[in-house]
Amino acid sequence: MWPGFAAELAEASGLDPQLRTEGTMTVALNADELGRLRQTHALQKRLGVDAVWLTRDEALAREPALNPRLTGAVLVPGDHQVDNRILAQALKIAFERAGGSLHEQASAVGVRMVAGRAIGVTTGGIDHPADTVIVAAGAWTPEVPGLPAEASPPVRPVKGQMLALAMDPDAPILSHVLWTQKAYLVPRHDGRLLVGATTEERGFDANLTAGGMLSLLESAWRALPGVEELPLIESWVGFRPGSRDDAPILGDTGIPGLILATGHHRNGILLTPITARTIADLVLTGETDRAIVAFGLDRFRPQTIERTPSWISA
């Protein structure tokens, strides 16, 4: 889905979201990791994922800067990536070119409810009427003013610390997205090498910590020793919207005019195309795509079990 989406977005915005199709490589660096990787590969094959087992030499032939002590690797060539920052800018431009009105850094954004129906939003005290309101506020979704309690999803912030190193764009030490047991590395065309990410249940704590940076750098260094020579150019904290079952919360809320699109955890960018398509289809047609039926808010609500009254005999 990403190649077509990226091409359409580039045409609509004039910005290239930097789609890369080298694929994702996951490496094992000792016997224990090798065993876990074989189990993961077996699961991928059962699910029909195009996952290719690589020997040590095959992995090093693709990525010569990898730790030569690696014990095995799995390549998923169908995994793609885009530059999330450029993607956000491209979406903004495409949205405005299509006639959308964007209010950035707006204060006190809330849902307007009348007689049990969502009729629009307020931003900075100004009302904006709408036939349908889509709440897609990420980790902040439960805090949106005016959101009815029965439509408030079980979403929490999951803190993630990340950092960026600087490679030579003309001679990068990594081309594939690389997963280790405790970190992932993402090369960008401009030479940046992203290293992420911690997973911490600390609410909206925005502090970078020595322990978080140490964990990421140590995990990256084990797989790609050359990172120790790269300049550290940036570090930051993000808040993933984690749901109770770590799956997205998409679709109708049971309240007329109110739709949710949140809870994507660490897969928000990955699921952008299908989320956009299915939520747009829901707004336009009133029908929920079967791809997201299982991800409705109602899965968290108590289920009523119909029982045959005890006084009725067979």
Residue-wise pLDDT for 146-169, tens only, equals 999 999 999 999 999 999 999 999
Asked if the model's pLDDT at residue 310 lies above 80, the reply is no
> Cα(13)–Cα(9) distance, rounded to whole angstroms?
6
Which residue type, as a one-letter code, is found at position 98? A
**Among 5, 61, 55, residue whose Cα is nearest residue 175:** 61
According to the model, what pLDDT value does residue 312 have?
A: 46
Mean of pLDDT values over 4-26: 94
Q: What integer pLDDT is reported at residue 307 of this predicted model? A: 52
Segment 173-196 mean pLDDT: 97
- Residues 293-307, mean pLDDT to the nearest whole number: 81
Q: What is the mean pLDDT of the chain?
A: 94
Instruction: Tell whether the model's pLDDT for residue 311 goes beyond 60.
Output: no
DSSP 20: B
Measured CA to CA in angstroms, residue 37 lies from 46, 104, 134, 300 at distances of: 14, 43, 39, 32
pLDDT at 8: 93
Q: What was the pLDDT predicted at 282?
A: 97
pLDDT of the residue at 223: 98
Instruction: Answer for the pair 252, 289: CB distance below 8 angstroms, yes or no.
Output: no
DSSP sequence for 34-95? HHHHHHHHHHHHHTT---EEE-HHHHHHH-TTS-TT--EEEEETT--B--HHHHHHHHHHHH
Max alpha carbon distance in the chain (Å)?
80
**Does residue 314 surpass a pLDDT of 60?**
no
In tens, the pLDDT along 178-188 reads: 999 899 999 99
Whether the per-residue pLDDT at 313 is higher than 50: the answer is: no
Q: Is the pLDDT of residue 60 over 70?
A: yes
pLDDT over 90 for what percent of the chain?
90
The average pLDDT across 1-18 equals 91
**Would the pLDDT of 45 be above 80?**
yes
As given in the structure block, the two tokens for residue 20 are: 């890369």
- pLDDT tens by residue, 242-285: 999 999 999 999 999 999 999 999 999 899 999 999 999 999 99
Model pLDDT, residue 124? 84
Residue 71 scores a pLDDT above 50: yes
Residue 87: pLDDT above 70? yes
pLDDT at 187: 98
* Predicted pLDDT of residue 108: 81
Predicted pLDDT at 193: 98
pLDDT tens-digit series, residues 201-234: 999 999 999 999 999 999 999 999 999 999 999 9
More confident residue, 64 or 103: 64
